[in-house]
Structure 1
Amino acid sequence: MLLSAYDSRGGVEPLVGLAMRLLELGAEVRVCAPPDEEFAKRLAGVGVEMVPTGQSVRDLVTGKTPPSPGGVPRRAAELVAAFYQNVTAAAEGCDVLVATGLLPAAAGVQAAAEKLGIRYVYASYQPVSLPSPHHPPIPRPGRPLPEGVTDNRALWEQDAADAQAVFGEAVNSHRASVGLPPLDDLRDHVFTDRPWLAADPVLAPWAQPAELDVVQTGAWVLPDERPLPEDLVAFLDAGTPPVYVGFGSIPMRDPGDVARATIEAIRAQGRRTVLSRGWADLALIDDQEDCFVVGEVNHQALFRRAAAVVHHGGAGTTATATWSGAPQVVVPQGADQPYFAARVAELGIGAAHDGPTPTVESLSAALTTALTPETRTRATAVAESFHADGARVAAKLLLEMVN
């Protein structure tokens, strides 16, 4: 099996879970992922072969890679070519190719599957990425949803046209170069009429009826057995449960202001803070002993010891926090994050922050909700219903496809 993603850590981590379950069932697995060191280290740590593909996602997100002269179309063309070439080279002996992540990267994987005659599966980590009459599409960069249009079907038709306009030329030029026919509906071709949804059905359900025959497997999570660092354990043991703050791969516009606002809001609640650096490179605002900064750690273990988790609402972090039973405050920055913020609030397992920029006042109000005993009780109950076997379900389905 070959699994692929061009995504941040939250998009690569589910492939770790799926890869491990496939290995347990006797399958051979490779993963195509961005060449960032943290991805390579994570996959090597569980014994999964990684094929570095494309540019560093972290460098792109944090601005270390300068914008290319051709902008998005040029970058899309590079992604299609890189994933096609690397997947084709790595797919020897493979029975199924699984694609997740950005559309042009997935298009490269699908083109490789077509050329090689190998089965192909597209998987999404959130329902709102897939066309449905029950929700609107996520706006594409530089392509806001048309004002005044409330018909979701019309919005999804516009989204298909936008995807074609942004990525169509790059994808079709590459397909022509390898002897494949052009696509006039790139998005739906890549998604297929039977995409998979790797998300927990309580946290992120697929609404029926719908035109797509979506296979919801449950979230692709894996129990993380890595111990927490000794100094972090000492901090946790030294007082009451802290509030975790981290925004993952989101760079954040003013990281200094964000760190100050969050720490002061947490202090106003009489709580201690664990601050995750993340790609925003958040840092402590003073040397008081009620705050501790961390880098890469076992989120599952840490969240279980947190009074609440303040985060950006990415699919991976939201799933981990929900599975851990930690009350949440979601400060959405874009993409699928407003959806997960709304779901956390609707489920009663936390609060959705209003807007992407936390202030002391706004975050204090959200924490007041998240830190109630009622929210903790509800978060515990939802955690008990979390479908933690999604990776095993998906692995079995993949093997059934080839046996």
Structure 2
Amino acid sequence: MRVVLTTYGSRGSVEPIAALAARLVELGAEARVCAPPDEEFVRRLAELAVPMVPTGRPVRPLVTTVTPGSAAGLAERAAELMRAQFETVAATAEGADVLVATGPLPAVTGARSVAEKLGIRYLHAGHQPVSLPSPHQRPPARRGQPLPADATDNQALWDEDARIANTMFGDMLNTHRAEFGLPPVDDVRDYAFTDHPWLATDPVLSPWRPTGLGVVQTGAWHVTDERPLPADLVEFLDAGAPPVYVGFGSMPMGVLQHVAQPAVEAIRARGHRAVVFRGWADLTPVDDRDDCFVVGEVNHQALFRRSAAVVHHGSAATTTTAAQAGVPQLVVPQGADQPYWAERVTHLGIGAAYDDAVPTADSLAAALGTALTPETRSRAIAVASGLRTDGTTVAAKLLFGTTS
């Protein structure tokens, strides 16, 4: 079986697709990933021995230079992203059996059109449930297209979301489809998602409440990371009690400039050392004290297991990795699906959430205190024991046409 997987986004978007591709290869399939040409993604896919086809522009420069929340240049970026599906992904998927797509709507609508043109199976996969239409939740706002703040009818809001998606991307998509000899689409969002989208999240950490949509929940997609921690980091960890990790992944400095230093001060106020993940914001030490260690790309699975708590932004990947490690979390959401994961962490009792617009060391220290209680740690360990670790295997077997 030949599978092409396409995605566009930061590490949290690329890593799950890379994990599934690696599992497919282990099971005897031929898998190829279309992903942004950022150096770290090229390196990661090479580590997993998965062929990569660079698609679109690098993501990191876009994330770190675009003003948070701004819609400036959005139409141009969407057009580039969709065009890459009709060009690069279409060429890569020639002769494939399946095309698996995840990422922004311009990408997945283009990907499904490619699969339709080539006559191959198409699957949409998501790594969080927030974007899937459900009467149980409010749709997230699309950039530059706010939803009525006082509206409470979720179904009406999802109908409005579909209308907005058509306005933003419908003409763009149908122009490409016409060039491909395909008929126009009148519901861009639902065309991309299909009637049976896959949800690559853990059913305990992120349960899906049944709707009319035939969601297939596979469990989260990840690779067991066997890389050793750097020697200097191990030396720091061995030198004292477990530190508190603080990191915000691919979030840009424009979002984090008011969070990082108060977070370290809060950790110190609780009597802990700190490990700070540099991330895409390129965080640096707040001072020269030896109780704070800054790391770049490392094995987060191993690092989290040696941490007292994890302070992070609430991405699907970081939340899941911390939950699997059985370590308490303090989630400081900055947008997108992050408030959802913050809510799940607090609901499960495996950590705390912090949503003050202007964090201070004192208020963060108070929230961190909840995450550091023995009760929270015990609950985090208990929940970890019930989380699935076979998400890529489940997904791969479904792709092979089996469920055993």
TM-score by length of 1: 0.96
1:329 corresponds in structure 2 to: 330
> Are the counterparts in 1 of residues 7 and 13 from structure 2 also a CA contact under 8 Å?
yes
1:181 corresponds in structure 2 to: 183
Distance in structure 2 (CA, Å) of the matches to 1:365 and 1:295: 28
2:377 corresponds in structure 1 to: 376
1:251 corresponds in structure 2 to: 252
Distance 1:263 1:281, change over 3 A: same
Cα distance per residue 1:175-194 (max 9 Å; x no partner): 11221111111000000000
Identity within the alignment, %: 64
Distance 1:166 1:383, change over 3 A: same
Cα distance per residue 1:199-246 (max 9 Å; x no partner): 0001111102x0100000000111101111110011001000000000
Query: Which residue, 161, 182, 201 being the options, matches 1:159?
Result: 161
Distance 1:254 1:129, change over 3 A: closer
1:225 corresponds in structure 2 to: 226
1:267 corresponds in structure 2 to: 268
1:367 corresponds in structure 2 to: 368
Check if 1:394 corresponds to 2:398.
no
Report the secondary structure of 1:29's partner residue. Answer: strand
Cα distance per residue 1:110-135 (max 9 Å; x no partner): 11101100100000111111001111
Distance in structure 2 (CA, Å) of the matches to 1:211 and 1:134: 12
1:34, CA displacement in angstroms?
A: 0.6
1:171, CA displacement in angstroms?
A: 1.3
Cα distance per residue 1:81-115 (max 9 Å; x no partner): 11221111111331100000111011121111011
1:30 corresponds in structure 2 to: 32
1:70, CA displacement in angstroms?
A: 7.9
2:316 corresponds in structure 1 to: 315
Unaligned runs of 5+ in 1: none
Check if 1:56 corresponds to 2:58.
yes
> Are the counterparts in 2 of residues 265 and 363 from structure 1 also a CA contact under 8 Å?
yes
Q: In the alignment, residue 363 of structure 2 is paired with which amino acid? A: S
Structure 2 counterparts to residues 105-124 of structure 1, below 5 A: 105-124=107-126
Distance 1:196 1:255, change over 3 A: closer
Q: In the alignment, residue 207 of structure 2 is paired with which amino acid? A: P
Distance in structure 2 (CA, Å) of the matches to 1:391 and 1:35: 23
> Are the counterparts in 2 of residues 248 and 312 from structure 1 also a CA contact under 8 Å?
yes
Unaligned runs of 5+ in 2: none
Q: How many residues align?
A: 400
Distance in structure 1 (CA, Å) of the matches to 2:7 and 2:319: 19
Report the secondary structure of 1:127's partner residue. Answer: coil
Report the secondary structure of 1:244's partner residue. Answer: strand
1:149 corresponds in structure 2 to: 151
TM-score by length of 2: 0.96
1:64, CA displacement in angstroms?
A: 7.5
Cα distance per residue 1:9-35 (max 9 Å; x no partner): 011111121112111110000001111
Query: Which residue, 172, 180, 192 being the options, matches 1:170?
Result: 172
Distance in structure 1 (CA, Å) of the matches to 2:305 and 2:182: 49
1:259, CA displacement in angstroms?
A: 2.6
Distance in structure 2 (CA, Å) of the matches to 1:71 and 1:363: 35
1:284 corresponds in structure 2 to: 285
> Are the counterparts in 2 of residues 72 and 166 from structure 1 also a CA contact under 8 Å?
no
1:77 corresponds in structure 2 to: 79
> Are the counterparts in 1 of residues 12 and 315 from structure 2 also a CA contact under 8 Å?
yes
Check if 1:345 corresponds to 2:338.
no
Q: In the alignment, residue 285 of structure 2 is paired with which amino acid? A: L
Distance in structure 1 (CA, Å) of the matches to 2:118 and 2:264: 53
1:148, CA displacement in angstroms?
A: 2.0
1:387, CA displacement in angstroms?
A: 0.9
Distance in structure 2 (CA, Å) of the matches to 1:202 and 1:45: 30
Distance in structure 2 (CA, Å) of the matches to 1:74 and 1:260: 35
Report the secondary structure of 2:138's partner residue. Answer: coil
1:137 corresponds in structure 2 to: 139
Q: In the alignment, residue 391 of structure 1 is paired with which amino acid? A: T
Check if 1:234 corresponds to 2:249.
no
2:96 corresponds in structure 1 to: 94
> Are the counterparts in 1 of residues 253 and 282 from structure 2 also a CA contact under 8 Å?
no
Cα distance per residue 1:135-167 (max 9 Å; x no partner): 111111112221321111111101111111111
Distance in structure 2 (CA, Å) of the matches to 1:358 and 1:168: 40
